[in-house]
Each structure stands twice: as C-alpha cells, then as structure tokens.
C-alpha cells in the first residue's frame, strides 16, 4: 500500500521508516528540507518540501493512489486541515491526525477524522490506524488460553449493537475506547465509527473472530 505522511519530526520519521520496513511505499512532506535527514541514507521513499494541505504537493506525493494519510506535524490546525483535504478531496480511506490539545479531539472526531493526542498515543498506535489488520493482543492470562485483544473491524459493523457482535463471534466485548476514553458497554450500547473494540477471546478462536470482524456482517447473515 502507499502512505503519505505530513511531518518529518520524530514521530513522522518513525512512521515512515517502519512502513517502509514493512514493504509499503511512503511519501513524506515537511516544510523544512533539513528534517529529511532524520530518515537516514537508506530511506527509499519520496520526500517533498512544502505544506501537507497543498493540493499540488499532495498530488506529487501520490495522494490520488494513497491508501492512508498521517498528519503528524507540530501544528494542530495544519494537521486537521491536511487530514480533511486527504479525506474529503481525495477520498483516502485511512486518515489520522495528531493533535497537541486533546480537548479538541471530540470536535475532530465528529468531522470524521480520527485524532491522536500526543501524550496518549504512541507511534505503533498511529501505524495501527494507518494499516489496520487483524488484532493486537493487549493481555493474556497465565495459561495462555484467553486473550484481551483490540480488534480491527470492517466498517459494516459500525452502527450495530454490541450484543450483535458478541452473538456473531462468540467473543465478549470487554470495553470500547471512544474519543480517547474507556467505556464499558451494556445491552443498549451501539458501536460508533471511530470506536476501538477490545474483546476477550479464547486463543483457539482468535483466527475465527478476526475473520468474522474483517468482513461485512452481511457476509455472515
């Protein structure tokens, strides 16, 4: 897949390097040409000097074929503006914006832009939003038989009741992360776009649950 990154600071550099190591193509944008030195001599991706919400710069970066876009510069407004351009003008599927003011997260979530508060989120969590797949183990019991996992979901599951997800998979939803806060669901809770789902599942059932969640609910009806 092709990923465009705006901001070649510490986080942007790590994201670009790890994406390239995973076999993805990367274009990274920064206003400071000297920032690209952080990437090292082995970086094979595209580097562009400019602002990440400039259409011409984005097109040069390959935004029209991009599968994901990360705005991780040092300015909240620039990050949100660039993320909205990527999502709304170019239809990029996976978009994430880093913010320094976590109090503004809810506003941006309502605009359909997943946000990352720098004091809470780490590079690997940003990468997970950019390249979502399968599950990420967060805890395992002493016997190794049961795991607590953060699950990647097909977008078709959003809008469905948590009880429907449990009935479809046999897994149990432990909690949801919504707008950066934990939420213990009840029988009336409905999964919303942007929610992160954390489920408890038997190790022997993990592959089955991942497979179910990776496809539309209609595929299992």
Residues 192, 13: Cα–Cα separation, whole Å = 31
Single out the residue of 133, 140, 118 nearest to residue 68, CA to CA: 133
What is the distance between the alpha carbons of residues 81 and 60, in angstroms, rounded to a whole number? 18
Rounded to 5 degrees, φ, ψ at 57 are -65, -45
Angle at 33 between CA 46 and CA 61, to 5 degrees: 25
| Strand locations in the chain (E) | 2-6, 25-30, 46-49, 68-71, 94-99, 115-117, 135-140, 146-151, 172-178, 181-183, 196-202
Residues 15 and 9: their CA atoms lie apart, in Å, by 10
Residue 164 pLDDT class (50, 70, 90 cuts):
very high
Count of residues in the chain: 221
Closest by CA to 55, choosing from 46, 47, 64, is 64
Q: Is the pLDDT reported for residue 220 higher than 70?
A: no
- CA 114 – CA 105 distance, rounded (Å): 8
39 pLDDT above the threshold of 90: yes
Tens digit of pLDDT for each residue in 54-74?
999 999 999 999 999 999 998
Task: Report the distance separating Cα 175 and Cα 197, nearest Å.
Answer: 7
Radius of gyration of the chain (CA): 18
Query: Phi then psi for 8, rounded to 5 degrees?
Result: -110, 45
Domains with residue ranges and CATH for the chain: 2-130 (3.40.50.720), 135-220 (3.30.70.1450)
The pTM (predicted TM-score) of the whole model is: 0.63
Least confident residue range of 42-51, 70-79, 115-124:
115-124
> How many alpha carbons lie under 13 Å from residue 118 in its C-beta half-sphere?
15
Q: Mean pLDDT across the stretch 130-156?
A: 78
72-76, 89-93, 106-110, 158-162: segment of lowest average pLDDT? 106-110
- Which residues, other chains included, contact 198 with Cβ-Cβ below 8 Å and sequence gap of 6+? 138, 148, 149, 150, 151, 173, 174, 175, 176, 177
Which runs of consecutive H residues, i.e. helices, occur in the chain?
Answer: 10-21, 55-60, 76-84, 105-110, 123-130, 162-169, 206-213
């Amino acid at each position: 897949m092709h990923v465009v990154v705006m901001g070649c600071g510490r986080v942007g550099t790590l994201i670009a390097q790890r994406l390239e190591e995973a076999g993805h193509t990367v274009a990274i944008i920064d206003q400071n040409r000297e920032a690209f030195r952080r990437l090292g001599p082995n970086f094979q991706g595209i580097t562009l000097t400019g602002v990440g919400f400039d259409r011409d710069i984005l097109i040069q970066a390959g935004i029209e074929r991009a599968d994901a876009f990360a705005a991780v510069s040092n300015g909240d407004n620039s990050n949100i503006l660039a993320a909205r351009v990527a999502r709304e003008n170019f239809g990029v599927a996976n978009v994430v914006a880093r913010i320094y003011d976590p109090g503004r997260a809810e506003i941006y979530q309502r605009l359909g832009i997943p946000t990352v508060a720098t004091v809470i989120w780490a590079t690997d969590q940003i990468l997970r939003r950019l390249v979502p797949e399968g599950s990420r183990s967060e805890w395992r019991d002493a016997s190794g038989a049961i795991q607590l996992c953060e699950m990647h979901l097909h977008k078709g599951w959003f809008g469905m009741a948590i009880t429907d997800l449990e009935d479809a998979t046999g897994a149990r939803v432990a909690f949801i992360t919504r707008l950066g806060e934990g939420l213990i669901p009840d029988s009336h809770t409905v999964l919303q776009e942007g929610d992160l789902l954390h489920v408890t599942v038997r190790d022997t059932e993990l592959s089955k649950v991942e497979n179910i969640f990776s496809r539309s609910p209609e595929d299992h009806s």
